[in-house]
Amino acid sequence: MAARNVMKGKTGDWLAVIGLEIHAQIASHSKLFSGSKVKFMAPPNQLVSFFDAALPGTLPVLNKYCVEASILTALALSCRINKKSLFDRKHYFYADMPAGYQITQQRKPIASNGHLLFNVYDDVKREKPRRHRVNIKQIQLEQDSGKSLHDDEKQQTLVDLNRAGVGLMELVTEPDMSNGKEAAAFVQELQTILERIGTCNGKMAEGALRVDANISVNKPGEPHGVRTEVKNINSVRFVKNAIEYEIRRQIDVLESGGTVVMETRSLDDTGCTIPMRDKEVVQDYRFMPEPNLPPLVLYDDTTINSTICQEKAINVDTLRRRMPELPEDQRQRLTEDYGITYSNAVKLVNEEGLADLFEQLCTASSRKETKRLMNWCLIDILKCLHQRNLTVKQSPIPVEKLSDIFSSLQSGEISAKSAQKLLELLFDGDSRSVSEIMDVENLRQITSEEEVLKFCTEAVNEEPDLVEVYQSRNKKVINKLMGIVQVKSKGRIEPQLARRIMEELLERRRRR
């Protein structure tokens, strides 16, 4: 066992074991078993069909897109796809679940036996990551519940069923992680993959991705300890913090002679985990097969044939062929194709859409400029996006315009400062073409020596004292003259050119 996994206690070393259960909302237009729309933050109870409200006599109709999304997710995580899976009812009574049960896949899930390899940065210096593998036990399809909203002032609970019946993929990992950092890195890589394949938007703050962490501790050489489960963690940072807190708490309990009880806990506002009162009794879910849904049968290239309704049938191999390049494959390829470092490839890939933008811009620019282009994407473009709280996908600037800016920068037509100004204008909604803005806003670099000489002459005429100092004592004052030239030209002269012409001018004056 590597030393990094060992936690120190008063009585010696401890090891921790962590397994995650993750609920990922499927990014589909409609719900898992009904035609109601799926939309975050819609007015309460606007997206509720009779089936979602559990009116008697309504029947589930399986949404093909949700099944395909879960298969794509399973393939991205190297799972075995079960060609036949089953739906079950899991009973519990809660106001936001009007049927009194949730349809899930308890006996046979849609996929099992997968794994994910991801980077863990043990050092603060994010240069060399360690690869870690977590096995995925299963992925099952199930319904989300509605939401209960508690109004403390009026002492009442309101129910919003917009979320009731939204498709969820529940992913269960094996207990293959040993600290909060590893678990957080797993969740982050999963998020990046889900975003990439488009099956879940991954937004934890909106509840689209929710993490339950199972945590136990044991002494080295001893079997796994009793685990607790911290429910509904809603940010990557909280995954790390909640797990670290819970490990510490369990060690303290055990070292002071207590026992850890198997229980469900939640994360409070101060970052502590506290027992959840409503989960104290062991639930009997009275699982039973869902009578209104037949087994879910999937096909592949070898089993699909013309007697099967092509519209309804799902061919796993067709989905496999539709799989986009996964984030880690793209990171590797970027380092090979463009000669950039792995850590820069990570930065490009982890910001959704940025790596694709970089590659699109690369095709239009010279090979020599790859590194400059990469920095332009990672620094200048990202800065503009972050300042406006936008993602790459939400950027209002078409790639062609970005490409125009970069080629003008590359050819020396505009300065870095002007390129930044162009970006700012376009991000703020300027709809003119890049060259029109360059003309109207006077952003083009001054390249004509004659024009540069004009600015230099002006500066020299205005500052005879500086010229005198330059010629008699200190050549460094040329920098002051250069500053004046740049102010006059609004920074549009390439500094080296301005300097050469200024030097020539000052030498000529001396000889006179």
- Which backbone phi and psi does 11 adopt, to 5 degrees? -100, 10
Nearest approach in angstroms of CB 22 to ligand ADP is 9
Question: Which residues fall within 8 angstroms of residue 485, CB to CB, at 6 or more apart?
Answer: 452, 455, 456, 459, 493, 498, 502
CA atoms of 495 and 447, how far apart (whole Å): 11
CB nearer ligand ADP, residue 98 or residue 225: 225
Q: Which two tokens stand for residue 373?
A: 């282009």
Tally the C-alpha atoms within 13 A of residue 145's C-alpha that lie toward its C-beta: 17
Nearest approach in angstroms of CB 51 to ligand ADP is 28
If one asks whether residue 96 binds ligand ADP (CB under 6 A), the answer comes out as no
Question: Which residues fall within 8 angstroms of residue 408, CB to CB, at 6 or more apart?
Answer: 414, 419, 434, 438
Category of 420 on φ-ψ map: left (φ > 0), alpha (ψ -120 to 50) or beta:
alpha
CA atoms of 8 and 247, how far apart (whole Å): 11
- Residues counted in the chain: 512
CB nearer ligand ADP, residue 28 or residue 85: 85
Binding string, residues 371-400; x marks residues near ligand ADP by CB under 6 A: ------------------------------
CB nearer ligand ADP, residue 79 or residue 459: 79
How many helices and strands in the chain, by DSSP H and E? 16, 17
Binding string, residues 398-437; x marks residues near ligand ADP by CB under 6 A: ----------------------------------------
Per-position b or e across 4-40, b if 16+ CB within 10 A of its CB: ebbeeeeeeebbbbbbbbbbbbbbbebbbbbebebee
CB nearer ligand ADP, residue 25 or residue 138: 138
Whether the Cβ atoms of residue 55 and residue 213 lie closer than 8 Å to each other: no
Report 335-364 residues binding ligand ADP (CB under 6 A): none
Query: For ligand ADP, which stretch binds (CB under 6 A), given 119-127, 214-222, 281-289, 423-431?
Result: 214-222
Binding string, residues 146-175; x marks residues near ligand ADP by CB under 6 A: --------------------------xxxx
- Tell me which of 185, 215, 381, 505 binds ligand ADP, using CB under 6 A: 215
If one asks whether residue 273 binds ligand ADP (CB under 6 A), the answer comes out as no
- Tell me which of 34, 104, 119, 216 binds ligand ADP, using CB under 6 A: 216
Binding string, residues 453-492; x marks residues near ligand ADP by CB under 6 A: ----------------------------------------
- Tell me which of 14, 15, 18, 69 binds ligand ADP, using CB under 6 A: 18
If one asks whether residue 227 binds ligand ADP (CB under 6 A), the answer comes out as yes
- Tell me which of 14, 19, 77, 254 binds ligand ADP, using CB under 6 A: 19
Q: Which two tokens stand for residue 475?
A: 């050549």
If one asks whether residue 17 binds ligand ADP (CB under 6 A), the answer comes out as yes
Number of Cβ within a 10 Å radius of residue 101: 20
Nearest approach in angstroms of CB 200 to ligand ADP is 18
- Tell me which of 6, 9, 13, 21 binds ligand ADP, using CB under 6 A: 21
Q: Which two tokens stand for residue 15?
A: 């090891």
First to last CA, the chain: 81
Binding site for ligand ADP (CB under 6 A): 17-21, 172-175, 214-216, 224, 227
